[in-house]
Amino acid sequence: MLMDIVGIVIAFSVVMLLLSLMVTTLGQATQAALRLRGRNLKKVLGVVLDPELQGGPASRSLAADILNDDEIASIDKVPNPHSSVAKMRGPAVSWVDPDKLQEVLTRVSDSDSQSVESVVSRFRGVDKHLSKRFTFIMRLVAVFWALVIAALFQLSAPKLIQQLSTDPVLREKTVALAPDVLRFAEDTNRMIAEYQPMFDNALKIMAERHPDLASDFAAVDTATPYVGDVSEELSDIIDGDENQDQILAELEDVMYSDVRRHRDEMLQRAAESQRYLSLIDITPYRYGSSFYYSQGVIQFANILGMLMTMVLITLGGHFWFNILKTAVSFRDLLAPTSAESKTTESDGINP
């Protein structure tokens, strides 16, 4: 009986972990595709420029010009930052060095030096606010994807628990996936944690392409949060090289190719999560519209169960990973006792 309960917990955690990983990877892909860090920076910079209006049209326009300035947007600079296409793509820059901000603001704005210094001083103190606001945005993205996934897979948490309780074949089939799913989750979380946009990966790729300049690429400081600093420092290091312009242009292309690669990897991980779910017959829209509306009746129980699934998914991949890992360890501890019990029962039955 106890082993059955543990099996249900393991099976349920497997499903929730896979769904949570889909939310995480799709959220990462969304962040990269929509340049949410850059949009967040633009919004906060607009407020810093005009705190009284909390980022009015004029300050938003100035923020767009600053983030597209040659000194800051050395990569992916657009001809017109106010165009519909530029607004749709979002800024490529995710951070601005305060000293560079002061330099650019002095050049592109009509403000006096005292006003510029006041703006820069306010900007130096927005680190925590910038981080908190971005975290909030990513939570909203996670809730959105959790709702989409729960609705698309038409998964009701109470019904899933009931199925796992009454169908030992499904339960064992799902439990059997646990080791592979745990490894898959570890690999996915490591990829996300270790990923550093643009800098280290891009320079390693460049070193492989140009082994004669490998020492120059290794000398570039990648600790900076500012994209332009990487290109600028490499430009100083290889100054005088006949292929300097070509190498810098190639580096910029590699940097943003790396971002696209990360986005594609996250989408592949989401697809892999879906493949695992399909092994236990959990597929998108498997019940059709009848899951929500059948024979003229709204299926409130299914809708409520789906919303419960959404809430459980938003607990996050780390939460379900720990639950699953703990449950598997507990089962392994019980396994010898269970086997010993069965042997004792068998000895009592057989003469």
Spatial separation of the C-alpha atoms in residues 100 and 106, rounded to whole Å: 10
What tens digit of pLDDT does each residue of 51-67 get? 655 556 778 788 888 87
Question: What is the pLDDT at residue 225?
Answer: 46
Q: What band does 90 get if pLDDT is binned at 50, 70 and 90?
A: confident
Number of domains in the chain: 1
**Of 17, 89, 67, nearest in space to 260 by CA:** 89
String of DSSP letters for 239-274? TT-TTHHHHHHHHHHHHHHHHHHHHHHHHHHHHHHH
Q: What is the mean pLDDT of residues 238-251?
A: 80
350 in a structural domain: no
**Average pLDDT of the chain?**
82
Question: What is the pLDDT at residue 85?
Answer: 76
Structure tokens at 151: 């609705």
* Of the listed ranges 42-46, 76-80, 88-92, 232-236, the one predicted with least confidence: 76-80
* Burial profile 141-179: b = 16 or more Cβ within 10 angstroms, e = fewer: bbbebbbebbbebbbbbebbeebbbeeeebbeebbebbe
Question: What is the pLDDT at residue 231?
Answer: 67
351 in a structural domain: no
Does pLDDT of 342 surpass 50?
no
What tens digit of pLDDT does each residue of 157-193 get? 999 999 999 999 999 999 999 999 999 999 998 888 7
* Of the listed ranges 123-127, 235-239, 330-334, the one predicted with least confidence: 235-239
The answer to whether 228 touches 248, Cβ cutoff 8 Å, is: no
Q: What is the mean pLDDT of residues 34-53?
A: 80
Question: What is the pLDDT at residue 283?
Answer: 92
Domain residue limits at 65: 1-338
What tens digit of pLDDT does each residue of 192-216 get? 876 655 567 778 888 888 888 888 8
Question: What is the pLDDT at residue 351?
Answer: 38
Residue whose pair of structure tokens reads 């597209």 in the numeric block: 68
User: Would you say the C-alpha torsion 177, 181, 21, 255 has a positive or negative sign?
Assistant: negative
Q: What share of the chain is helix, strand, coil (3-state, %, to 5)?
A: 75, 0, 25
Cα–Cα distance list, 22 to 19, 147, 162, 318 (Å): 5, 12, 23, 13
Does pLDDT of 339 surpass 90?
no
Question: What is the pLDDT at residue 89?
Answer: 75
Q: What is the mean pLDDT of residues 208-232?
A: 72
Q: What is the mean pLDDT of residues 272-276?
A: 93
Structure tokens at 103: 């330099």
Q: What is the mean pLDDT of residues 142-166?
A: 94
String of DSSP letters for 122-145? HHHT-HHHHHHHHHHHHHHHHHHH
The more confidently predicted of residues 114 and 20 is: 20
290 in a structural domain: yes
Structure tokens at 343: 């042997």
349 in a structural domain: no
Structure tokens at 213: 């300049």
Q: What is the mean pLDDT of residues 218-229?
A: 62
